[in-house]
Amino acid sequence: MELGPTDTASKIFEAHFQRLLEEETYDRAKTVFDEAGAYNERSLAIQIQTALQAGKLDVVLQSYEELLSNADFQQLDIVDRSVYLRRYADYVYADLITDGDPLKALEMRPPVEILEIFDRMS
């Protein structure tokens, strides 16, 4: 059984990001969301939005692409994968998006309207 985001989350993701991203970048973001989103759809969408705002989307997508293709990661069971991805989100924010400056995360928080859109995911 292939695990993925819910249909509702996928539709919200598509409606929001398809209009903001160039086709190639959208395809990469959608692939990452499809492969990792099931474990925390809203969090991943917010990470992608925040990375976009910070000008770090390519770095974040590349990091997730490398993680998702890693053989050791692929061997994890569903529970361990979920835990790992939740911890990985901390790394994405702390190291990739904010360059180690935790106050940047507060400054980069997406607008409330966008957060409300992502609230409907789960």
For the chain, what are the domain ranges? 7-117
**Per-residue confidence (pLDDT) for residue 121, from 0 to 100:** 81
Cβ atoms 57, 64 nearer than 8 A: no
**Per-residue confidence (pLDDT) for residue 2, from 0 to 100:** 59
Mean pLDDT of 101-111: 76
* pLDDT tens sequence across 33-52: 999 988 889 889 999 999 99
State the helix-helix crossing angle for 57-69 and 41-54, rounded to 10 degrees. 140
* pLDDT tens sequence across 3-14: 778 889 999 999
Q: Nearest 5°: phi and psi at 116? A: -65, -35
**Per-residue confidence (pLDDT) for residue 76, from 0 to 100:** 94
**Per-residue confidence (pLDDT) for residue 114, from 0 to 100:** 77
Q: What secondary structure does DSSP assign to 41-78, as a single string?
A: HHHHHHHHHHHHHHT-HHHHHHHHHHHHH-HHHHTS-H
- Between 109 and 22, the higher pLDDT residue: 22
* pLDDT tens sequence across 65-104: 999 999 999 999 989 999 999 999 989 988 888 888 877 7
Using the predicted structure, report yes or no on whether residue 30 has a pLDDT greater than 90: yes
**Per-residue confidence (pLDDT) for residue 116, from 0 to 100:** 81
